[in-house]
Chain A
Amino acid sequence: MNPNDSNASRFKSATADRRGERDLDLLLIHVARGDTEAFEAVYDRLVGPVYGVIRRVLRDPSQSEEVAQEVLLEVWRTAARFDPAVGGAATWVMTIAHRRAIDRVRSTTAAAGREHKTAEVHIPHDEVAEAVEASLDAERVRRCLDGLTDVQRQAITLAYYGGYSYRQVSDLLKVTLGAIKTRIRDGLIRMRDCLGVS
């Protein structure tokens, strides 16, 4: 099965009809009881975005693979802490994935080389363009990002895909801290409405 196809349908179900989301919630509840088949199903559905977002942030494929493994193992280990009342399973897993990637970035920020690897990050269109062929999700996200102001789009892209803190984003974009906070928040509100997130 082409993982991109599964990812595309996966995200549509997360926002359009809620059925897929509930399926995944249910799978995770089974994982919490030690059901390894359910874990394999969760793996197959989420490994694409987990690995993809980590690699977007870290750039380095072997580090990304390492962090992805940690994240997926954490999903197995802490599945009992997943609370469907608080949010969907996909969001729970992606939150862990992104946070782990960021932790890795912040703990190795001083390490040489990363500057070069992220030098091109401040061209958000290219960032997103890479993913456009990947799936329909990317198309939707790109369209919604296009609806933002330049600063909103750059701030959100640098923070999420670039793994920069908002202080670093403020420095890169030469916009005050207060303004960056507001741009990120306003931009996310627009994205939320554009993507039809409830």
Chain B
Amino acid sequence: MRFLRHDPHSLSGAYALDALEAGSERDRFTRHLSRCQSCASEVRGFREVATAMAFAAAAEAPAELRGRVLAAAARTRQLPPEVAGGSHTRPRRTRSWVPWVPWLSGVVATASIVVAVLFGFAQAHTQDELNQVKAENQAISLLLSAPKAKLLTYEVTHGGVATVVLAADRHELAVVTTGLPALPSGQVYQLWLIGKPKIVSAGLLPPAKNGQTPAVLATGVAKGDTLGLTVEPAGGSAQPTTTPILALPLPV
């Protein structure tokens, strides 16, 4: 959690050097820049440093590049200027970023898990699938009834809420999400248990029904783990390849 709460100012250097990966962190900093005069002027100064570094790296370009660029320019229409008062390109804030909503309404969250379990039944078509859902649900209901189960809810960076039921003594958790943005085909949401020595996949989120993803059960939760959620290519990845849109330190 620490890195999400961290003073956004400190990212100005990494931002100016294009060292923030595309995604939530860079978007957030870009939003921050539009509100923070001192950050914007700091980034401007750093960009001048970067410019000096670019000039220091100057190299002779291939001679034929000039002709190609000029020829390409000759057949390329230029963009008109942006006229003040027109559609300005200031990034529109779609949702205020709430970093951490601890222990939100337990009733709502438990209800979402139950609803997710029911969706699981509704989506099962064959006996095998049904048996699997039953087994999973048994595990989830055991988890829900664990005396030390904790409920965590969290707003995901680009919209949506993740609800987590954590049974620390059983080293298990269940996750449902509501309202996550739909992904283009070829991409999936993947859960991770981010531990000190390594990051382990905690499974893919099943497709959402009515905006809600069926419960996913993760086992082997260890002390100090952070629950992460990233967007990955279809089929999932062995290790996260994008910036997490959720990073929830688990009170294990």
Contacts and interface: CB of A to CB of B under 8 A. Distances in A.
B52 A11 contact: yes
Contact of B60 (A48, A94, A188): A48
B18 A102 contact: yes
Counting chain A CB atoms within 10 Å of each CB, the highest count among B57, B60, B77, B79 belongs to B57
Interface stretch (B9-17, B104-112, B150-158, B206-214): B9-17
A165 B57 contact: no
Interface in A146-174: 156, 159-161, 164-167, 169
Given A73-B73, A76-B76, A178-B2, A11 B55 contact: yes
Given A32-B81, A51-B65, A98 B54 contact: yes
A22 interface: no
A43 B70 contact: yes
B81 A81 contact: yes
Chain B interface residue count: which class? 35 or more
Nearest to A160: B17
Interface in A15-55: 15, 32, 34, 36, 39-40, 43, 47-53, 55
Contacts of A32: 78, 81
Interface string A173-196: 000011011101111100110010
Interface residues of A, number: 80
Contacts of B69: 43, 69, 72-73, 76
B21 interface: yes
Contacts of B10: 178, 181-182, 185
Given A181-B11, A188-B16, A142 B56 contact: yes
A77 B19 contact: no
A114 interface: no
Interface of B: 2-3, 6, 10-14, 16-22, 44-62, 65-66, 68-70, 72-74, 76-82
10 contacts: A7-B55, A48-B55, A56-B59, A68-B65, A95-B51, A134-B57, A134-B59, A166-B14, A180-B14, A192-B46
